[in-house]
């Protein structure tokens, strides 16, 4: 999948590029059934929330030897439609995944993600430059009602803002404070709702401000996130590094797969 000059210019200007129906129904069915299998695993790489301890985040799904390893998600991560896309917008072919995750924003219970730039956390992982992007693949339709993401276009050009540590949800992380967001939003275009059918995808820059609301609907909203870094920009040593499932030290460049559909695969024993 070759991006043209105007798509690359749009990415550089807005900080994201959207692709409707990039994956077909059969591929999405395979990935959905993988998420159902993975959600039953008991592992530290699964973050849960609420009284029912509903899974919120399944991490490290792209590796071959992690507790939550999935061959189908590995194929997704090496596809020309994900890795190939990331290579083009980062203008670098030697990429690895800083992490992969499925955010399972469950019907009714699934909670918000406050405004943040991903690089707020990733710089503290020891990564020097914002040469990172995420490819998000919608496994369900995303709507404002079920907690789709919102992007503030062009905010990746602000570079990294000073973060504060947000403890309002089951996943504690570095986010933007209210005063910063009021100021930034007064000066930028309105946020864009990232809605689409299952199988749609969006690639976005690690300094783009984004957030999502609570899932008020009776249907789940599952999204896969593949966060690519350049091997040249791999993290430096830090004190008390976060766990391997969020801060990968597997810096072997990913090998680009053939441009073929995600196929059903046998789950690891
Ligand atoms: C994220 O920004 O990492 C997750 C947002 C979401 O799943 O809504
Ligand atoms: Mn994020």
- Given the CA of residue 134, which atom of ligand 1 is nearest to it? 3
- Rounded to the nearest angstrom, the distance between the alpha carbon of 266 and the centre of ligand 2 is 30
Structural domain contains residue 264 = no
pLDDT in tens, 108-122: 989 999 999 999 999
Coil/strand/helix, residue 149: strand
Structural domain contains residue 269 = no
Residue 143, pLDDT score: 98
pLDDT in tens, 3-59: 999 999 999 999 999 999 999 999 999 999 999 999 999 999 999 988 888 899 999
Query: 163 pLDDT exceeds 80?
Result: yes
- Given the CA of residue 112, which atom of ligand 1 is nearest to it? 8
Structural domain contains residue 238 = no
User: What's the pLDDT band for 266 if we cut at 50, 70, 90?
Assistant: low
Residue 268, pLDDT score: 52
Mean pLDDT of the chain: 96
Structural domain contains residue 22 = yes
Query: Ligand 1 pocket test: which of 101, 136, 225 has the largest number of ligand atoms within 8 Å of its C-beta?
Result: 225
* Beta strand pairing call for 16-19 and 201-205: antiparallel
Spell 6-34 as b/e; 16+ CB within 10 A means b.
ebeebbeebbbbbbeebbeeebbebbbeb
Residue 241, pLDDT score: 98
Q: Look up the pTM and report it.
A: 0.97
Looking at ligand 1, which residue's alpha carbon is closest to its atom 7?
103
CA gap 141, 198 in Å, rounded:
5
Q: What is the dihedral of CA 204, 59, 181, 7, to 10 degrees?
A: 0
- Which backbone phi and psi does 9 adopt, to 5 degrees? -65, -40
Coil/strand/helix, residue 122: helix
| Side-chain half-sphere CA neighbours of 188 within 13 A | 22
| Side-chain half-sphere CA neighbours of 151 within 13 A | 22
CA gap 51, 130 in Å, rounded:
37
Contact 115, 189 (CB under 8 A): no
Q: How many domains does the chain have?
A: 1
End-to-end CA distance of the chain: 34
* Beta strand pairing call for 95-105 and 221-230: antiparallel
Query: 222 pLDDT exceeds 60?
Result: yes
Structural domain contains residue 213 = yes
Query: 140 pLDDT exceeds 60?
Result: yes
CA gap 173, 246 in Å, rounded:
12
Query: 126 pLDDT exceeds 60?
Result: yes
Structural domain contains residue 255 = no
- Given the CA of residue 105, which atom of ligand 1 is nearest to it? 7
Residue 267, pLDDT score: 53
Looking at ligand 1, which residue's alpha carbon is closest to its atom 4?
113
Q: Where are the alpha helices (DSSP H) in the chain?
A: 5-14, 25-38, 71-77, 83-90, 118-124, 178-187
Residue 265, pLDDT score: 78
CA gap 172, 165 in Å, rounded:
7
CATH code of residue 218 = 2.60.120.620
Structural domain contains residue 137 = yes
- Given the CA of residue 212, which atom of ligand 1 is nearest to it? 8
Structural domain contains residue 212 = yes
Q: Which domain covers residue 116, as residue numbers?
A: 5-233
Query: Ligand 1 pocket test: which of 103, 116, 195 has the largest number of ligand atoms within 8 Å of its C-beta?
Result: 103
- Rounded to the nearest angstrom, the distance between the alpha carbon of 156 and the centre of ligand 2 is 13
Coil/strand/helix, residue 150: strand
CA gap 118, 90 in Å, rounded:
16
Ligand 1 pocket, CB under 6 A: 103, 113, 149, 210, 212, 223, 225
- Rounded to the nearest angstrom, the distance between the alpha carbon of 105 and the centre of ligand 1 is 9
- Quick one: what percent of the chain has pLDDT higher than 70? 99
Q: What letter does residue 50 receive in the DSSP assignment? A: T
Residue 169, pLDDT score: 86
pLDDT in tens, 83-100: 999 999 999 999 999 999
CA gap 228, 5 in Å, rounded:
22
- Rounded to the nearest angstrom, the distance between the alpha carbon of 228 and the centre of ligand 1 is 15
- Rounded to the nearest angstrom, the distance between the alpha carbon of 269 and the centre of ligand 2 is 31
| Side-chain half-sphere CA neighbours of 192 within 13 A | 19
- Rounded to the nearest angstrom, the distance between the alpha carbon of 91 and the centre of ligand 1 is 25
């Amino acid at each position: 999948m070759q991006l043209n000059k105007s798509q690359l210019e749009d990415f550089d200007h807005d900080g994201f590029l959207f692709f409707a129906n990039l994956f077909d129904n059969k591929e999405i069915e395979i990935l959905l059934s993988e998420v159902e299998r993975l959600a039953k695993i008991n592992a530290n790489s699964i973050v849960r929330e609420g009284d029912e301890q509903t899974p919120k985040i399944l991490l490290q799904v792209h590796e071959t030897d992690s507790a939550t390893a999935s061959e189908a998600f590995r194929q997704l991560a090496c596809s020309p439609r994900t890795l190939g896309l990331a290579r083009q917008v980062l203008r670098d072919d030697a990429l690895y995944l800083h992490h992969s995750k499925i955010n399972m924003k469950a019907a009714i219970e699934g909670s918000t993600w406050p405004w943040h730039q991903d690089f707020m956390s990733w710089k503290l992982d020891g990564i020097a430059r914002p040469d990172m992007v995420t490819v998000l693949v919608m496994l369900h339709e995303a709507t404002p009602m079920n907690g789709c993401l919102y992007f503030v276009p062009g905010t990746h050009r602000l570079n990294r803002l000073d973060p504060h540590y947000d403890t309002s949800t089951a996943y504690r992380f570095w986010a933007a404070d209210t005063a910063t967001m009021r100021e930034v939003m007064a000066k930028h275009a309105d946020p864009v709702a990232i809605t689409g059918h299952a199988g749609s995808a969006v690639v976005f820059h690690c300094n783009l401000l984004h957030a999502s609301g609570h899932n008020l609907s009776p249907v789940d909203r599952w999204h896969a996130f593949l966060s690519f870094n350049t091997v040249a920009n791999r993290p430096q040593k830090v004190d008390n590094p976060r766990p391997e499932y969020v801060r990968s030290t597997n810096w072997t460049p990913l090998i680009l797969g053939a441009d073929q559909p995600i196929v059903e695969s046998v789950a690891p024993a």
